[in-house]
Amino acid sequence: MQLLDGKLLSEQIKAELAAEVEQIKMQGGKTPHLAAIIVGENPASQVYVSSKIRSCEQVGFKSSLVQCEASTTQEALLAIVQKLNNDPDVDGFIVQLPLPKHIDEEAVTLAIDPKKDVDGFHPVNFGRMAQGLPAFLPATPMGILEILRRYNIETSGKHCVVLGRSNIVGTPISILLSRKGYPGDCTVTLTHSRTKDLPAEVRRADIIIAAIGIPEFVKGDWVKEGAVVIDVGINRIPDESKKNGTRIAGDVDFESVAPHCSFITPVPGGVGLMTVAALMMNTLKACKGEIYGK
């Protein structure tokens, strides 16, 4: 069993990005600029956004944070989105989810200019991705593809089982891994809460993508020998042995699953860090005009 080290890979990617950004600056080019909007005081959101800003600093990007009160109206938030859409210095921006309940997340996502949608959530980018056209890929699926690519994991002809059908992870990764090329050419089964005999479906998998949002859901006897396991879950669960009374767990029961795997991502230290790295990669693409042109 080999760990798929997201920390190591993300540091490699950030070093590559930093070298490219340095070259761009030396040639008098524009410094990539990522902006983030955060609404309210959600602690997890604060941590995620801080991580993204820290990564921007590491790779030489310019970053800006728009911090809004939890009481911010939808109209006010949409006005901020429009301002960033129209700001020529901002190459890409994200609206950190979840948003307060009085704000329609779909309306906010639709308001983002697809050319600056470095999270890859806008239907225009999703549709282009589904048709194999150049697009900003959703950051977590893009991070998963980078893990598979950089560890040279064979995907062609493999049976991949995805647990979870969200628009952020499950559905897009099922599309991406079924496409022609590498990493891809998988036969993909997309499972969810209504799937009958889920353990039997998972046992057929050469590659398992667990993105179902239930801590330690996938058990060791669900996994065939030599399977590759990508654990997308980040769940905080009670643990009295820890100082703060909780610990982070994935969607996979690591202790029982790991002995059966050829490769497995740890939690933390796996997919989460690669999601941030993918966001940085998308921002550089936006700055260079690689998807939609300058």
pLDDT at 44 over 80: no
Set out the domains of the chain in order of their start, with CATH numbers. Answer: 26-115 (3.40.50.10860), 139-272 (3.40.50.720)
- Report the DSSP pairing between strands 235-238 and 246-249: antiparallel
Q: What does the pLDDT read at residue 123?
A: 97
157-212: pLDDT as tens digits: 999 999 999 999 999 999 999 999 999 999 999 999 899 999 999 999 999 999 99
pLDDT band, residue 112 (cuts 50/70/90): very high
List, by residue number, the catalytic residues. Answer: 52, 96, 119
The phi and psi torsions of 180 (rounded to 5 degrees) equal: -65, 145
Mean pLDDT, range 232-254, rounded to an integer: 88
Q: What does the pLDDT read at residue 166?
A: 95
**Residue for token pair 């809004």:** 68
Q: What does the pLDDT read at residue 93?
A: 97
Tell whether pTM > 0.85.
Answer: yes
Q: What does the pLDDT read at residue 293?
A: 86
Distances (CA, A) of 287 to 32, 66, 88, 115, 291: 5, 20, 10, 10, 10
